[in-house]
Structure 1
């Protein structure tokens, strides 16, 4: 039963990468957590708290938030073109992506706390991972 739950949590984690919600930066944060239990959850909590205040100024790639980063890049392009109506739409999308990511990670962390300690797979399978190559 415990192994089924651990497998479920591993699949939930994998889905965060499959849905391109997270990238390699998240993996780096996970590695840091091995010596400091709760570190990753604290970093994410701080990220979401600060992001709510500073959506336009945040640097989401530090946490590995791919979709949020993409929407911020779109907003920058709209700003360069002077398309302020598109900027408003992009800002709403940034907020939505950020809220969606927070919901998914909160769920993941809650379930992970209930599971027995498990070895974290260093490199989950994902479509494109390195956003630097795009």
Structure 2
């Protein structure tokens, strides 16, 4: 039977799915952590460092007029791959919105959607940092509860 702390951690993790912040990829990565303590934090730490770099480069591209569309697409593609690899659902959704605006040639919407990407990424970072901090406060525990992902069970477009 899970301890109260393990149930609390499972509840915090479930909120990440209920609020559509993460999908099952997070749990898959969490399972890998059983073999290497700190693995999950390392994976997400690397993601956030890469994301900051990509967003900084994309921000510079967004300031150029006319837009250098091939470079924006390259950066978006790179960011989307990283986002899918960690299961950041809302960030991926914002990236898809930006792709759609690029396809339609709706350049007026690009800045707004780009700001949405940055906001959603910051939210994921804040929530995960909080989750990891709380998780460290208790004893190492197996989290027995399996999350319910709802529609987030796949990475399909």
| Common topology (TM > 0.5) | yes
2:48 & 2:30 partners in 1: Cα distance? 17
1:32-70 Cα offsets, whole Å, 9 max, x none, are: 110000000011011011101113331201000000000
1:115 & 1:52 partners in 2: Cα distance? 30
> Aligned pair 1:70/2:93, yes or no?
yes
CA RMSD of aligned residues (A): 1.8
Larger Rg: 2
1:83 & 1:133 partners in 2: Cα distance? 24
User: Post-superposition shift, 1:133?
Assistant: 4.4
Task: For 1:21-100, list aligned pairs within 5 A.
Answer: 21-55=21-55, 56=76, 57-58=78-79, 59=81, 60-100=83-123
5+ unaligned residues in a row in structure 2: which ranges? 56-75
Higher RCO, Cα 8 Å, sep 6+: 2
Q: TM-score by structure 2 length?
A: 0.78
Q: TM-score by structure 1 length?
A: 0.90
Residue 6 of structure 1: aligned partner: 6
> Aligned pair 1:114/2:133, yes or no?
no
Contact preservation (8 Å) 1:27, 1:122? no
Aligned length: 133
User: Post-superposition shift, 1:8?
Assistant: 2.0
